[in-house]
Amino acid sequence: MSAAPSPAPHSVLLDPEKCVGCTTCIKKCPTEAIRVRKGRASIQPERCIDCGECIRTCPHGAKRAVSDPLSMIEAYRIKVAVPAPALYSQYDEGRSVDRVLSGLLQLGFDEVFEVAEAAEIVTRATRELLASSGEAQDLPRPLISSACPAVVKLVQLRFPSLIPHLARLIPPMEVAARIVKERLHPGESGVGVFFITPCAGKVTVTRAPLGYERSAIDGVIGLRDIYLPLRSAIASAPERSLARAGRRGLEWARVDGECDAMGERRSISVDGIGNVIGVLEALENGKLRDLSYIEALACPAGCVGGPLTVENPYIAKTRLRNREDSAPPEAAGPRRYEPAIDLNWTAAVKPRAALALDPDMLRALVMMEEIELRAEGLPGLDCGSCGAPSCRALAEDIARGTAIESDCVFKLRDRVRELAKELMALEEIRPPGLDREAGR
């Protein structure tokens, strides 16, 4: 298997001033990608799936996403905002989608194109995929949604046997950007497309796409960063009729939304990276084969709970639902984007072998034996003081040569104690020439 080593970019940055070197993020990371070294958390990029759990859970706000500043849009002649529908869930319903979008124009954008409208197109494409015979296309059922980049990366890293199940369709944000560039402004120069993102994972895929070569997105602005300026802009912007997306597109921003939009009942909708792992485990164990579709989202409640959002995920979800209720089912009088954008993947998504101990299996076996032995000798408290998330992970790091046994505070204490005993024993011995009490 062993996939060619590829650079594994991710979009989580550490603020070394804020990081206190605690153990919160190392424990929460679902791929055990973080270690504390020299008092600071450090991410192993080849293991990071960009789920943003560390950003979400860091009690000191020391993790943030690499995203672009709003000032970046100035470099373009035509500035187009492409907001994720999760954006709407961050503001109360008193601020209509029209007002939120008008606020974006007030901030300096020339046009807006809703990702939710593109999500309607992806909904139709996914429905067609589901209607076609799975075997004929080498698409085993159930299909796993590929809309959440963290889930796609999780599959690559921890469930490579499930790669064939991934729906080979480009995500809504990319569809939106391509419509802007290739259909609304074909051949024009100076068009800048800016995605407004609820998560770090979507920042990374614009730089290192999954399933396609190059992204049409020019910049990514974190929802967290634009939240306050947009809030004031909404208050002062003249309201314009800009909202087009219907309910089906809006639904994609929350858990159950994809399945609701498709009307797919033989499906599972799962949110939260831990729950996603549970469902994928079951699928890999041969269960769930009677399902058609798995909508798996790394964040609690879906994209509305993304690590770059500001509102509580469940409050945001309810707000989104209220907006869905007042929207038409689909974008009114659908604009035609002819010819239709090709949604199919054009690049292979390959397994990521970052968890393997050694490319040579025999050497890996020897290391595995060492790990088992070492793990038995460690206290098993998983305290994290060594900087690894568990005693087992430390045992693995020792075998990989990136840690030593005395990194464990209990092991260190044992050694200090032994040394102290030895010292005491040595102290008892007195040179015979000086010791008058000794009977020698």
- Number of residues written out for the chain: 440
Rounded to whole angstroms, the Cα distance separating 6 from 156 reads 13
Q: Which amino acid makes up residue 61?
A: G
Q: Using CB under 8 A, pick the residue from 93, 98, 182, 284 that binds other proteins.
A: 284
Q: Which amino acid makes up residue 1?
A: M
Please report whether residue 422 would count as binding other proteins according to CB under 8 A. no
In the block, which residue shows the tokens 């009114």? 332
Name which of residues 222 to 281 contact other proteins (CB under 8 A): 281
H-run or E-run covering 155: helix 149-158
Q: Which among 177, 333, 306, 169 has a CA at the least distance from the CA of 246?
A: 333
Name which of residues 149 to 168 contact other proteins (CB under 8 A): 158, 160-161, 163
Contact 46, 352 (CB under 8 A): yes
Please report whether residue 357 would count as binding other proteins according to CB under 8 A. yes
| Integer-rounded Cα radius of gyration of the chain | 26
User: Which letter does DSSP use for residue 26 in this model?
Assistant: H
Q: Which among 392, 344, 403, 336 has a CA at the least distance from the CA of 32?
A: 392
Q: Using CB under 8 A, pick the residue from 16, 190, 328, 359 that binds other proteins.
A: 359
Rounded to whole angstroms, the Cα distance separating 263 from 256 reads 10
Residue with smaller CB distance to other proteins, 350 or 430: 350
Q: How far is the CB of 367 from other proteins (least distance, A)?
A: 8
Among 73-81, 218-226, 354-362, 427-435, the segment contacting other proteins (CB under 8 A) = 354-362
Please report whether residue 376 would count as binding other proteins according to CB under 8 A. no
Q: Using CB under 8 A, pick the residue from 72, 78, 291, 364 that binds other proteins.
A: 364
Please report whether residue 365 would count as binding other proteins according to CB under 8 A. yes
Beta-carbon count within 10 A of 407 CB: 17
Whether omega before 389 lies within 30 degrees of 0, making that bond cis, reads: no
Please report whether residue 355 would count as binding other proteins according to CB under 8 A. yes
Q: How far is the CB of 128 from other proteins (least distance, A)?
A: 27
Please report whether residue 319 would count as binding other proteins according to CB under 8 A. no
Please report whether residue 419 would count as binding other proteins according to CB under 8 A. no
Q: How far is the CB of 384 from other proteins (least distance, A)?
A: 19
Rounded to whole angstroms, the Cα distance separating 65 from 270 reads 24
Q: Token pair for residue 159?
A: 């469930």
Q: How far is the CB of 143 from other proteins (least distance, A)?
A: 17
Contact 145, 170 (CB under 8 A): no
Residue with smaller CB distance to other proteins, 359 or 379: 359
Q: What is the size of the binding site for other proteins (CB under 8 A)?
A: 25
Q: Using CB under 8 A, pick the residue from 4, 362, 425, 429 that binds other proteins.
A: 362
Residue with smaller CB distance to other proteins, 119 or 151: 151
Give every CB contact of residue 121 below 8 A, 6+ residues apart in sequence. Answer: 172, 175, 341, 343
Cα-based angle 197, 352, 389 (whole degrees, multiple of 5): 80
For the chain, how are helix, strand and coil distributed in percent, rounded to 5?
45, 10, 45
Residue with smaller CB distance to other proteins, 160 or 302: 160
Q: Which among 125, 236, 113, 218 has a CA at the least distance from the CA of 176?
A: 113
Give every CB contact of residue 12 below 8 A, 6+ residues apart in sequence. Answer: 43, 48, 50, 52, 54, 55, 63, 64, 65, 66, 200
Please report whether residue 366 would count as binding other proteins according to CB under 8 A. no
Among 42-50, 83-91, 245-253, 364-372, the segment contacting other proteins (CB under 8 A) = 364-372
Q: How far is the CB of 255 from other proteins (least distance, A)?
A: 23
Q: Using CB under 8 A, pick the residue from 353, 382, 411, 414 that binds other proteins.
A: 353
Q: Using CB under 8 A, pick the residue from 2, 132, 322, 326 that binds other proteins.
A: 2
x/- binding map, residues 377-406, to other proteins, per CB under 8 A?
-------------------x----------
Residue with smaller CB distance to other proteins, 2 or 326: 2
Decide: residue 202, CB within 10 A, 0-12 exposed, 13-18 middle, 19+ buried. Answer: buried
x/- binding map, residues 50-69, to other proteins, per CB under 8 A?
--------------------
Please report whether residue 286 would count as binding other proteins according to CB under 8 A. yes
- Residues of this chain that bind other proteins (CB under 8 A): 1-2, 158, 160-161, 163, 281-282, 284-286, 351, 353, 355-359, 361-362, 364-365, 368, 371, 396
